[in-house]
Structures are given as C-alpha cells and as structure tokens.
Structure 1
Amino acid sequence: MKLPRPAERHALLIQRRNEKMARSAHAYVRGNTVQFYEWLHSQRGRRLPKGPPVWICGDCHVGNLGPTGDKHGRIAMHIRDLDQTVIGNPVHDLVRLALSLAMAARSSDLPGVTTARMLEEMMRGYEYAFSDEAEDTPERPRQVKAGLRDAVQRTWKNLAQERIEDARPTIPLGRHFWPLARDEKAAIRKLCETPELHELVTALKSRPNHASVEVLDAAYWVKGCSSLGLLRYAVLLAVGGDKDKDFCLVDIKQAIAAAAPRASRVHMPRDNARRVVEGARNLSPALGNRMFATRFLDQGVFVRELLPQDLKLELDQLNEGEAMRAAGYLAQVVGQAHARQMDAATRLRWRAELQKDRSKSFEAPSWLWTSVVQLVGSHEQGYLEHCRRFAMGT
C-alpha cells in the first residue's frame, strides 16, 4: 500500500468518510451531524421544549456512548465523545439519541411499532434519572453487560492489538496510520515534554510522578467519521525505566467550533479544546479528568491517554426486547449526565416538563415522536442521495 504524503491526506480522508457513511443508513446518521443541526435550527426544531441550560453532548448517538475507565481503574458507561459539547438544551441530546436508536432499529429490520416502544422506554429511563429514587447504576441490558465484561478483562495487549495492530512498541503504518510531516514530529516531541503531558500519563495506573516519559513512535491517525480530515495523532509512549517500564497510547485530536446549538447568555470557554475538556468533566468525569487542552501547530487540541477499557458500544442486530432495554438504559445514562448538573428543584421542574404532551395510548411526548418521524424521513432521503452521489460521482 502506497502511503499518502501529508499534502495528499485531505482528499483521501473525504473519500474514506463517504465510504463509511454509505455503508448503512445508521452509519450515515452517525457521520452526518450537519443535517441534524440544520433541522434543529429550522422552524420545526425550534418548537422543541426548552430545558434548563446544562452541558450536553451535542452529538448524542449510540456510538458515542460506551464503557469508559477512570484513572483509578473503575469502569462505567459514559458519554465518550464530546467534540460537539456545549451548554445547551438537554432536549437536543434526547432527540439525537432517539434518532440514532430509531435508525439502529431499522438496521435490525425491526417493525415501526418497536421504534415507538423504544421511545417510550427511552423516556422512562431518562426521567428516572431525575427522580429521588434513581440509582447510580441502572440495570444493564445484555449487550451492555457483555461490553462491560470485555472492558474489565482487557489489558494493554488488547488495546495495542486493536488500536495499533501489534503489541510491540511501534505503530505500524498502513490503512489506519499514515506518516507524519517533519513539523508534526517536532510538535509531538515538544508536546510530550510538557508538564501537562507528564502529569496526565503518570496520573493513571499509580505511575510514579517522577517517571521518565519517552516518545517511541507517532503517526497521523485515520479514525472517526464526521471528524475525518481534522488533525489527529496516535503517540506511543514509554513511561518509567527498564525495571518498571509501562507503555501508553495517547490520542491528540483537533477541536473545532461546535455546530450544536448553544444556550444564550451562558459562559463557556472560547477556546474549543478547553470547551471540550470542560464539557467532558461535567458530563463524563471519568473521561474528562483524563484529558487536557493545549495548542498544537497553531490549532486547539485535546489530549488523552487511551485505556484498554475504553470501548464503543455497538448495537447490531437487536431483537425487540433487547432494543427496548437498550433504549431505556442508554437514556438513563444520558439523564444521569444531565441531572448531576442540576439542583433538586431544577430536576423536579424538568421532569414535570418532560411528562407533558402525552396521550393515553403513547407514553412518549408528542414532540419527540414527531421529531423522530421527520428526522428519519429526511435522513433516509439524504442517505439514498449520498449513496447515489458517491457511487455515481454526480
């Protein structure tokens, strides 16, 4: 395989993103955030109820939730991708999650009535997170239990084989990793000499504060879908001396302006990387406390060490019961992330607002069902048009 030079990356990454989005309607929804935000800014999107302004994910689809480890080795289900995080309307996360679940149901060839029942379960799970009797750990469906079980058992070797395709201390260049330019190599070495990076990698696994940090290898990382084309790097480090040497994989990712609508008259960091880190610390503390923001080649980036326990949740080929349980569980995880930012009175008011606009026969609010119907239709149409343009070049 001929590896692209840095100047050739952009066109190839756009092609890669188009390929990913053409695989299924569900993949198209995950990769096409712009269409969702355009709908939110439309007249229909502006009719959604106004929730209390809190940090939201901004791109709350199924693939952006999953098992996440903290610096003490504990594992829990969290929102794990915060590129679009803003202080905004929590309803936006609900609608985005509902759209993602509806498309997952369609990809599993489940009937439309199952989608309706999933939305009912989703609202039950989300509202439960705001009740006084809510538990910190909701009951987990089978797929989530399996994912968490795998996460607990994973080691550095699993992470290396999955992310860099080899447990040896190198990053193999190929489809997923491309060569660096000279200025990128220099910038990575400079970043890895900073106190912030040293503090980050020694905070995990009880590594000694005085441990040495050595760059073993680095590469441009071809990863993600909607973020393809942004700066992203994988850096392999050795922490400690010969007797206690440990390896770690660091992810450096460019932060750009969020397209997600934000609340008016609220204070957020103006620097996009700092916004991402602040949002992560509010929504997913286990992840946010493993990140820091900095400048890299005149761009804002956020940096984190990847742990073997960090996994993406995959919901493939669901049956009706699994789909409903997954919807309720994931919505409760999102609800907990929102609820921890509200005081008791605000939680009570927000839960009461969510329980409006319901019929006797359908326990999800009418605005949620209407939104999902509109969005599924527009995304199905957009997906077919995307496939036609990509396949036929028109």
Structure 2
Amino acid sequence: MSVKPFDFSQLFVQQPLKEQKKFGKKLRTAFPFEELGHYTATDRDPNQLMDEVRAILIPELLPERTQRVNQSSFAFFRGTAELMEYDLAQQANSPIHAVSCGDAHIGNFGFFGSPERQLLFDLNDFDESGISPFEWDLKRLAVSTLLAGREHSFDEQALTTLVKALGQTYRESLQEMFKKTALNRFYPVNSVETVLSTIPLKEAQTKKLKKFLDKAGKRDSEQVVRKFTVTDSDGQIAFKETPPRTRHVEDRVTKHITKYLSQYRQSLAPDVSLMLSQYHVTDIVRHSVGVGSFGSLCYLLLLTGTDDSHLVLQIKEALPHRQLADQVNVQNVQYEQNEGKRIVDCQKILQSASDAFLGYFATEKKSFYVRQFRDMKASIDLSALDWDQFDAYAKTCAWVLGIAHAQSPTAGVILGYTGHSENFDSAIQSWTAAYVEQVNQDFASFKRYRHL
C-alpha cells in the first residue's frame, strides 16, 4: 500500500474534536497498526539514489561529505534522508497527513534562543519539511534512537523497550496537548526548565549540563565574530578561511548579496526588517555545515551596524524537496523557487518559537533560507549521555514531536487513531527493528561502492 494521494482526513478538520477522534479511531480498521508495523523491502539501488543527490552538491566538498557519512551507520542514516523517504513511500502508511519535520532524527533536536531571549528546546532542522503521513517523523526518530543507542553499546533489550516507549510518549504528548484549548495549543513554550525536569540527572551531571547551557546562552554574533573572523592592520574584518569547508568565493549570491538581502528583508516582519536597515554588509564566505546538508551552498554573512555592533546570518540553500514522483522513484527532481519559503513556513508552524531573523529569498536558479548563526544554539552530545540520560532524552524528543504535530489541523484525527493503544507503540517498534537492518545493509553497500 502506498501513500494516498488525497488525505481525506482533511475533510474533518473543522468538525468537532469528538468527531475527529471518532473518525481517527475508525481508520484503524482500514489502516491497521499491524500493517503500519510491517516493513517491506523496496527494489532500489541506494547508491544510485544517493548519487542523484550528490549530483546537485558542490563537487569539491563531496570527499568530506563522504567521510562524514562513512563514520557510522547512524552518521550514514543522518546523511541519507532520501533513502528512508523513498522507502516510507512504498510502505503501508496511515492516510493522516500533518505538517512534518521530514528529518526528525534524534540529533535534530536542540537548544536555541526565542525572540524573548529565553532558552528553548525543540526541533531544529527543517530542510526536508513538508506534509506527509504523521508517523513518518516518529519512525525516523525511532530508527535514529536505535542506531544511536547501538553505537554507544547500550543494552539491546533496554533499547527495544525504549523504542516502543517512544510511541507511547508521542501519544501521551498529543493527549496532553488536547487538554488545552486550540489557542493554548498554539502557544506552547518548550523552555529548557520544562524539558530538563524530565531528564534524571545526578548532581555532578546537573552542574555539567548547567555549565553547558550557560555557554549556549552566551552564544551570540559577537562571539561568532571573535571566533570566525580576523581583523587586518587597517581595521577591516573578514571571515577566516579553512578551505574547502570555508572560503571566499565569487558566485551569483556573493556578487549580488545586497540585492538578495533586500529581497530577504521583505520576508521578515516589518519591525525586524526595519532594524536590519541599520546594518551594512561587511563580508560573506561560503561555509558548509552538518552531515546531510554538507555540500550544499551555505554562507555566513557578516553585517555591521551603525553602532559598530555585528550580526552574523547563515544563508543555506533550500534544496529541492525530495518528494517521490508517483511514489515510484526520485528521478528528475525539479527545482521550485519557493523551497526556502516551504522550510521557513514549516519551521514556524512546528517550533514553539522561531528565530526572528528566519526568512528566505531566491535567485534565478536556486532558493535559500536565512537565520541567525549560532545565536544561543547548541545540541546535546549523545555520546556523553549515560543510559538514564539517553532514555529520558529520546522520550523528550518524542514528547516535543507530539507538541509539534499538535499544530496541524489533522491532529485531532491522529489523536483518535493512535488513542490509548499499545498496539500502535508495538507497530513503531516492529517497523524500526526491521528498518535498522535495511540501514545497515545500505551502509555496507555504500562502503563497498565507495571502495570500488
């Protein structure tokens, strides 16, 4: 069974919540959890699909991208979202679509500052965001949790129990959100205080984490300037170069950055755009980051204000969404100028609060989105967590995912469909266990392919 081309649950989004839940429960008959938990291997060449993505990336960065993806099965999984998206489209899926992250693996949650300068914890990567069956996000989180847990040699039975618990935590998060009014669901605040209260920490660990969070809270543009730039004898500031990852380049974006900065400002709130009028461009450098997005066009833009203060923005290429034509293949991915808008819109919907500088622009051939660089941003080092911390952290991610999905108008139908059934949790666990084996096979194939 493939993804339904029309999500008929949309017909019920303005119906009373009671009717939405009733409809969702009825869907269990036509789309049983047992089918949702069965993984069917697809007939595709993982290396061919990966090469199609590599073909639209920067050639000189591909060797380092390959090294990053080759580190472990978890790193490989992080860097190959196109494979799981392809496979998911061939499975038995629910017909209930929601605004989705598209890449909700356990490493794509983190800390960042709200416009009110409050430290929050939430989803923090939306390059693959869009509208898809709601369970796709949960399955990606579950698979990544099992892979990351195995990488750190946690007990296998404990991991199995944890993966199943992710489904329960997600359901309970939705249930908790629907104890609130629609307006209050619209105003969740995933503050660090709320999140940390769910993670069991010993006193020494608490001190260590507070020190880490204090460091994250002090990250701002001036700190970035000190770390990433140099000042010459004439007092001119410029970004440091570390080729090929970071270098000054001359391309369409850098040549016409003033024009695109003006276009970007039009996508912002009037007060933010007006504030940006006090800044001028000082320098721009191509600076690649991440795993899955490494190799795409990405820049750091240094702006200097009339008071000589600084603002550093990150400009990231919004790659064509890897939607699957006819749910059969990903051939001939087409560029659309609104890819940056897609990412920004989905991020604003899914996050409890978003960067005030989050916006987008498009050149004649490419689309980009813009955000502050490293402003109060930080991620948890998964390798530094003990079992209790890892267990609680993964469940916290599932809880946050439920909060994000509660923003979709179909969330009431999801609530009815998942209900209080442990069978849903078992389906997530079964599918995850089977799909991890697929990831391992693909990773082995990738390593053989790269060494031919």
TM over 0.5: yes
Deviation at 1:140, TM superposition (A): 3.9
Q: Work out whether residues 69 and 309 of structure 1, in 8 Å CA contact, stay in contact via their aligned partners in 2.
A: yes
Instruction: Indicate which of 213, 221, 239 corresponds to 2:279.
Output: 213
Identify the residue that residue 94 of structure 2 maps to in structure 1: 49
Matches within 5 A, 1:1-394: 10-42=58-90, 46-50=91-95, 52-132=96-176, 137-138=194-195, 139-141=197-199, 142=201, 146=210, 148-160=213-225, 164=228, 169-175=237-243, 176-181=245-250, 183-194=252-263, 196=265, 203=272, 209=275, 212-239=278-305, 241=306, 244-259=307-322, 271-287=338-354, 289-342=356-409, 345-346=412-413, 348-352=415-419, 355-357=421-423, 364-365=425-426, 367-390=427-450, 392=451, 394=452
| 1:111-169 C-alpha deviation (Å, 9 max, x unpaired) | 2112112113322321221124688534342589555443223343443456x266994
Identify the residue that residue 37 of structure 2 maps to in structure 1: none
% same residue: 19
The 10-residue stretch of structure 1 (181-190 or 227-236) with the greater mean CA deviation from structure 2? 181-190
Gapped regions of structure 2 (runs ≥ 5)? 1-56, 181-187, 328-335
Q: Distance in 2 between matches of 1:307 and 1:34?
A: 27
Deviation at 1:228, TM superposition (A): 2.8
Gapped regions of structure 1 (runs ≥ 5)? 1-8, 359-363
Partner-residue secondary structure (3-state), 2:67: helix
Q: Work out whether residues 87 and 262 of structure 1, in 8 Å CA contact, stay in contact via their aligned partners in 2.
A: no
Q: TM-score, normalised by structure 2?
A: 0.71
Identify the residue that residue 3 of structure 1 maps to in structure 2: none
Match of 1:32, as an amino acid? T
Task: Name the CA shift for 1:182/1:373 in 2 (closer, same or farther; >3 Å).
Answer: closer
Task: Name the CA shift for 1:200/1:340 in 2 (closer, same or farther; >3 Å).
Answer: closer
Deviation at 1:308, TM superposition (A): 2.5
Deviation at 1:276, TM superposition (A): 0.9
Q: Work out whether residues 127 and 335 of structure 1, in 8 Å CA contact, stay in contact via their aligned partners in 2.
A: yes
Deviation at 1:381, TM superposition (A): 1.9
Q: Distance in 2 between matches of 1:356 and 1:262?
A: 34
| 1:185-232 C-alpha deviation (Å, 9 max, x unpaired) | 22213223457179679739xxx7375211111111122222233222
Partner-residue secondary structure (3-state), 1:286: coil
Q: Work out whether residues 278 and 288 of structure 1, in 8 Å CA contact, stay in contact via their aligned partners in 2.
A: no
CA RMSD of aligned residues (A): 3.2
Q: Work out whether residues 229 and 238 of structure 2, in 8 Å CA contact, stay in contact via their aligned partners in 1.
A: no
Deviation at 1:89, TM superposition (A): 1.4
Task: Name the CA shift for 1:149/1:122 in 2 (closer, same or farther; >3 Å).
Answer: farther
Q: Distance in 2 between matches of 1:309 and 1:219?
A: 21
Q: Distance in 2 between matches of 1:262 and 1:323?
A: 37
Q: Distance in 1 between matches of 2:153 and 2:163?
A: 17
Task: Name the CA shift for 1:157/1:238 in 2 (closer, same or farther; >3 Å).
Answer: closer
The 10-residue stretch of structure 1 (73-82 or 138-147) with the greater mean CA deviation from structure 2? 138-147
Q: Work out whether residues 89 and 263 of structure 1, in 8 Å CA contact, stay in contact via their aligned partners in 2.
A: no
Deviation at 1:322, TM superposition (A): 1.8
The 10-residue stretch of structure 1 (22-31 or 70-79) with the greater mean CA deviation from structure 2? 70-79
Q: Distance in 2 between matches of 1:104 and 1:245?
A: 44
| 1:333-381 C-alpha deviation (Å, 9 max, x unpaired) | 11111113347844641441x72526xxxxx32x212211122111112
Partner-residue secondary structure (3-state), 2:382: coil
Deviation at 1:16, TM superposition (A): 1.2
Deviation at 1:330, TM superposition (A): 0.7
Partner-residue secondary structure (3-state), 2:110: strand
Match of 2:390, as an amino acid? A
Task: Name the CA shift for 1:221/1:210 in 2 (closer, same or farther; >3 Å).
Answer: closer
Q: Distance in 2 between matches of 1:278 and 1:214?
A: 27
Q: Distance in 1 between matches of 2:167 and 2:393?
A: 12
Q: Distance in 1 between matches of 2:325 and 2:171?
A: 22
Match of 1:71, as an amino acid? P
Partner-residue secondary structure (3-state), 1:26: helix
Partner-residue secondary structure (3-state), 2:242: coil
Task: Name the CA shift for 1:295/1:195 in 2 (closer, same or farther; >3 Å).
Answer: closer
Q: Work out whether residues 71 and 290 of structure 1, in 8 Å CA contact, stay in contact via their aligned partners in 2.
A: no
Deviation at 1:245, TM superposition (A): 2.8
Q: Distance in 1 between matches of 2:367 and 2:267?
A: 19
Task: Name the CA shift for 1:198/1:349 in 2 (closer, same or farther; >3 Å).
Answer: closer
Q: Distance in 2 between matches of 1:99 and 1:121?
A: 13
